[in-house]
């Protein structure tokens, strides 16, 4: 899939980081982006918006990105539960990566990301 045609759900509780990532996506030509400020809103949006890819922060309140993806994977509709996910975080610790990888994520972007890193991860996830 050409990334320009991708439907992307962006989930991050940091308003400034969300705006930064949304700007990066726009600069990559991706226009179909929906934003949510927490995991609970992300779950509702994932069902309604049916994104091709979710970019989610890990450390959010009240629902963390890890919990968000666990609940996403438990949704009964396989079109939603199998949605591709890339985590974004400034936390690159082995512990966090160890919790994230078993959730079937397709990438991990260190924040703040470079536009090239975002593009490469999205292209790889959408192949």
Instruction: Give the start-to-end residue ranges of the domains of the chain.
Output: 3-125
Q: How far apart are the C-alpha atoms of 3 and 80, rounded to whole Å?
A: 19
Q: What is the pLDDT of residue 4?
A: 95
Query: b/e map of 73-100 (b: 16 or more CB within 10 Å)?
Result: eeeeeeebeebbbbbbbebeeeebeebb
Tens digits of pLDDT across the chain (127 residues): 899 999 999 999 999 999 999 999 999 999 999 999 999 999 999 999 999 999 999 999 899 999 999 999 999 999 999 999 999 999 888 898 889 989 999 999 999 999 999 999 999 999 8
Q: What is the pLDDT of residue 8?
A: 98
Q: What is the pLDDT of residue 92?
A: 82
Q: What is the pLDDT of residue 1?
A: 80
Query: Could you tell me the pTM of the whole model?
Result: 0.95
Q: How far apart are the C-alpha atoms of 86 and 52, rounded to whole Å?
A: 11
Domain 3-125 has CATH 3.40.710.10: no
């Amino acid at each position: 899939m050409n990334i320009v045609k991708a439907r992307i759900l962006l989930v991050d509780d940091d308003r400034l980081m969300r705006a930064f990532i949304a700007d990066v996506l726009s600069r990559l030509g991706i226009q179909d982006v929906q934003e949510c400020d927490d995991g609970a809103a992300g779950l509702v949006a994932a069902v309604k918006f049916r994104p091709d890819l979710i970019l989610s922060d890990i450390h959010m309140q009240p629902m963390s990105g890890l919990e968000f993806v666990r609940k996403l994977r438990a949704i009964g509709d396989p079109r939603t539960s199998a949605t591709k996910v890339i985590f974004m975080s400034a936390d690159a610790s082995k512990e966090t990566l160890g919790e994230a990888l078993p959730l079937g994520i397709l990438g991990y972007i260190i924040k703040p990301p470079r536009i090239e890193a975002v593009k490469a991860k999205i292209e790889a996830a959408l192949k």
